[in-house]
Amino acid sequence: MTLSRDDVRHVALLARLGLGEGDEAYYTDQLDSILGHIDRLSEVDVDSVPATAQVVALEHRLRTDEARPGMGQERALSNAPASREGFFVVPAILEEEP
Amino acid sequence: MDRHLAIIAERDPAIRAFVRLTPDLAAHQARAAQERYQSGNSLGPLDGIPMAVKDVLNVEGVEVTAGSRILEGYRAVYDATVVARLRQAGAVILGMTNCDEFAMGSSTENSAFHTTRNPWDATRVPGGSSGGSAAAVAAAEAGYSIGSDTGGSIRQPAALCGVVGLKPTYGRVSRYGLIAFASSLDQVGAFTSSVVDQALVLTAIAGHDQLDATSSSRPLGIDLDLEAGVKGLRLGLPREYFEVDGMEVGVKAAVDAALRVLEAAGAELVDVRLPHTEYGLAAYYIIAPAECSSNLARFDSVRFGRRSPGAATLLEAYSQTRGGGFGREVQRRVMLGTHALSSGYFDAYYLRAQKVRTLVAQDFTAAFEKCDAIVSATSPTVAFEIGSKTADPYQMYLCDVLTLGANLAGLPGLSVPCGRSEGLPVGLQILAPQWGEATALRVGRGFELAHGE
């Protein structure tokens, strides 16, 4: 399967990665090449093989349903690029209609 | 500690193993250790030992950046469990070591800050992604160091730098506080200069953690067997691992010589097969990017990390911050992973890769019916020149062909130095069944004793 520039543009949008014009061509070439190597996976007969759900057998553990102190608002906000009155401040979520 | 800081001051300007030093923290911890020692209250063998932490593990109050610009200025608000446990054992934390950005790479060249040099040859890479941690121990800048291994990122740099490195069984060591790359593959482990030291550090960090639901309470069981030697052990030699493309003649020769040493010490060498080895690489480079694309979604400029100035909308903030803050390898893997998980491609890529992963794990299970441990080279090459594998990403990915199988199958893997090729270190990889660290360490220690280093 080959990867087109449209595919890369789509994927970059899904992943919220802002790409410049030159970047698109650059990544398309490289990702297409990598996928070319990975395509050999289609040679493997996986018909009756279950997908790995857990790597090692996990032990099921529960704890008592007791409230405990969490991180706290001060620590949670301590690395925020912008905050005000206990909130994370972000740019406009919706674009305004002109 | 003063001695280590002096060595760092003398050697690190050339090697650049560290991205940031924490001398005040180290001094405080060293003083406390000294007081404990003088009053007869030592915490144990790790008390007062200066060590270093890969820049992907949270150390409370310290800047942690995962080798990335997107986290510049981020100060950890809690300790990773591994860090907390080592503090409890009396560790003296010298600083954060350099790594490939978000642990993605095999040479430490993807660090956004600088490239670490191999202490054996400054024109060559230390390996990656935990290159700084490996170099720090190789250059005696730290008594031991901590790294992480997702596809080989402890074992491969250990091999390239001539030190001992262990990736524990998946679930053996808590991942709480490790900046996640691929959550079903990541494990935390140590770099040391000897196998015995490796056992000491593993004992301190292993064990169930309430904060990591994938961690296990299974006992390590390593005190008993470590000096037992290799007599009577069956060591499996997987044909596919000895025939990989790009295996250097000198590496093969050093590993062959190591096998002779092990045989002379009483080990039985057995041929085994790992038929899906080649497909394992392809499966890894779907699964790891897929998981990383999910894990790195949190770097969105909202709660932590950098935010691109001038973004007028939230969507622009996301795109510009991530596009500008992530390096090229990270963007490649995030896009690859997003593609593999996207509608229309999920079955062909991600689901198929997870089925191939099952086959890789089954290969190992079958092989371990015939042997107690699997032995091979850790890396097909010795340390390569800086810049020599950066033109084609897939060339860099091939560095991990011998190591990533253990991550796919959750196995413990140890790399011990076994000789030189062209004057550069060669590592011997020892894989054991799940929870079999005791066996891997026993073989490693047996090799050390027989080899005489």
List pLDDT tens digits, range B68-92: 999 999 999 999 999 999 999 999 9
Do A56 and B171 contact (CB within 8 A), yes or no? yes
Q: How far apart are CA B321 and CA B306, in angstroms?
A: 7
Catalytic entry in B106, B130, B148, B153: B153
CA distance B404 to chain A (A): 13
Contact A16 B315 (CB under 8 A): yes
Q: Is B391 near chain A, with CB under 8 Å? A: no
Q: For residue B158, give the nearest of B371, B357, B429 by alpha carbon.
A: B429
How confident is the model at residue A2, as a pLDDT?
79
Q: What digits encode the pLDDT tens for the residues B366-424? A: 999 999 999 999 999 999 999 999 999 999 999 999 999 999 999 999 999 999 999 99
* Three-state SS at A24: helix
Residue A1 has pLDDT above 70, yes or no: no
- Chain A CB contacts of B303 below 8 Å: 76, 79-80, 88
Q: How far apart are CA B147 and CA B269, in angstroms?
A: 31
Select from A3, A17, A55 the Cβ nearest to the Cβ of B170.
Answer: A55
B415 flagged as catalytic: no
Residue A98 has pLDDT above 70, yes or no: no
B255-288: b (≥16 Cβ within 10 Å) or e = beebbebbeebebeeeebebebbebbbbbbbbbb
CA distance A45 to chain B (A): 9
Q: How far apart are CA B242 and CA B244, in angstroms?
A: 6
CB pairs < 8 Å spanning A and B: 177
How confident is the model at residue A59, as a pLDDT?
75
State the ipTM, two decimals: 0.93
How confident is the model at residue B452, as a pLDDT?
77
- Chain B CB contacts of A44 below 8 Å: 276, 279, 352, 355-356, 359
How confident is the model at residue B306, as a pLDDT?
87
- Give the residue from chain B lying closest to A63, CA to CA: B210
* Three-state SS at B282: helix
The band of A81, judged by pLDDT with boundaries at 50, 70 and 90, is very high
Mutate one of B71, B216, B339 to test the A interface: name it (highest A CB count within 10 A).
B339
Q: B224 or A76: whose pLDDT is higher?
A: A76
Contact A49 B355 (CB under 8 A): yes
Q: How far apart are CA B59 and CA B77, in angstroms?
A: 8
B129 flagged as catalytic: yes
Give the type of residue at B320.
Answer: Q
The band of A62, judged by pLDDT with boundaries at 50, 70 and 90, is confident
- Chain A CB contacts of B397 below 8 Å: 34
Contact A40 B306 (CB under 8 A): no
Select from B282, B303, B332 the Cβ nearest to the Cβ of A88.
Answer: B303
The band of B224, judged by pLDDT with boundaries at 50, 70 and 90, is low
Q: For residue B125, give the nearest of B17, B214, B213 by alpha carbon.
A: B17
Q: How far apart are CA B215 and CA B207, in angstroms?
A: 7
Catalytic entry in B111, B129, B174, B376: B129
Least confident of A43-47, A55-59, B175-179, B195-199: A55-59
Contact B77 A93 (CB under 8 A): no
Residue B453 has pLDDT above 60, yes or no: no
Q: What digits encode the pLDDT tens for the residues B305-360? A: 888 888 888 999 999 999 999 999 999 999 999 999 998 899 999 999 999 999 99
The band of B39, judged by pLDDT with boundaries at 50, 70 and 90, is very high
Domain assignment of residue B214, yes or no:
no
CATH of the domain at B78: 3.90.1300.10
How confident is the model at residue B223, as a pLDDT?
72
Do B46 and B200 contact (CB within 8 A), yes or no? yes
Instruction: Provide the domain count of chain B.
Output: 1
Cis bond before residue B129 (omega within 30° of 0): yes
- Give the residue from chain A lying closest to B357, CA to CA: A52
Domain assignment of residue B335, yes or no:
no
Q: How far apart are CA A42 and CA B36, in angstroms?
A: 60
Q: How far apart are CA B69 and CA B91, in angstroms?
A: 28
How confident is the model at residue B227, as a pLDDT?
86
Q: How far apart are CA B11 and CA B234, in angstroms?
A: 42
Domain assignment of residue B431, yes or no:
no
Contacts of B219 (CB under 8 A, 6+ apart): none
Residue B135 has pLDDT above 80, yes or no: yes
Q: Is B346 near chain A, with CB under 8 Å? A: no
B153 flagged as catalytic: yes
Do B68 and B327 contact (CB within 8 A), yes or no? yes
Q: Is B241 near chain A, with CB under 8 Å? A: no
The band of A11, judged by pLDDT with boundaries at 50, 70 and 90, is very high
* Three-state SS at A2: coil
Contact A58 B278 (CB under 8 A): no
- Give the residue from chain A lying closest to B214, CA to CA: A58
Domain assignment of residue B280, yes or no:
no
Contact B332 A27 (CB under 8 A): yes
> What average pLDDT does the segment B223-231 reach?
82
Residue B208 has pLDDT above 80, yes or no: yes
> What average pLDDT does the segment B112-131 reach?
98
- Chain A CB contacts of B315 below 8 Å: 16
Contacts of A93 (CB under 8 A, 6+ apart): B313, B314
- Give the residue from chain A lying closest to B395, CA to CA: A34
Spell out the alpha helix ranges (H) of A1-98. Answer: 5-14, 21-38, 73-77
Select from B75, B334, B348 the Cβ nearest to the Cβ of A78.
Answer: B75
Mutate one of B355, B360, B404, B437 to test the A interface: name it (highest A CB count within 10 A).
B355
Contact B394 A33 (CB under 8 A): yes
Q: What percent of chain B has pLDDT over 70?
A: 99
Domain assignment of residue B343, yes or no:
no
Full residue range of the structural domain in which residue B201 is found: 2-205
Domain assignment of residue B57, yes or no:
yes
Indicate the pairing of strand B92-97 with strand B50-54: parallel
Contact B171 A58 (CB under 8 A): yes
**What is the widest separation between alpha-carbon atoms in chain A?**
58
Domain assignment of residue B154, yes or no:
yes
Question: Mean pLDDT in chain B?
Answer: 96
Residue B211 has pLDDT above 90, yes or no: yes
Q: Is B304 near chain A, with CB under 8 Å? A: yes
Angle at B421 between CA B417 and CA B424, to 5 degrees: 65
Domain assignment of residue B271, yes or no:
no
C-alpha pair distances (Å), B242 with each of A2, B122, B170, B261, B299: 32, 29, 25, 18, 40
> DSSP for B317-366?
HHHHHHHHHS-HHHHHHHHHHHHHHSTTTTIIIIIHHHHHHHHHHHHHHH
Q: Which long-range contacts (CB under 8 A, 24 or more apart) does B322-326 make?
A: B322/A15, B322/A16, B322/A17, B322/A18, B322/B70, B323/A17, B323/A18, B323/A19, B323/A20, B323/A23, B324/A18, B324/B69, B325/B68, B325/B69, B325/B70, B325/B299, B326/A17, B326/B68, B326/B70, B326/B101, B326/B296, B326/B299
The model carries a pTM of 0.96
Residue A53 has pLDDT above 60, yes or no: yes
Six token digits for residue B90:
């009396």
Sign of CA dihedral B150, B205, B141, B255: negative
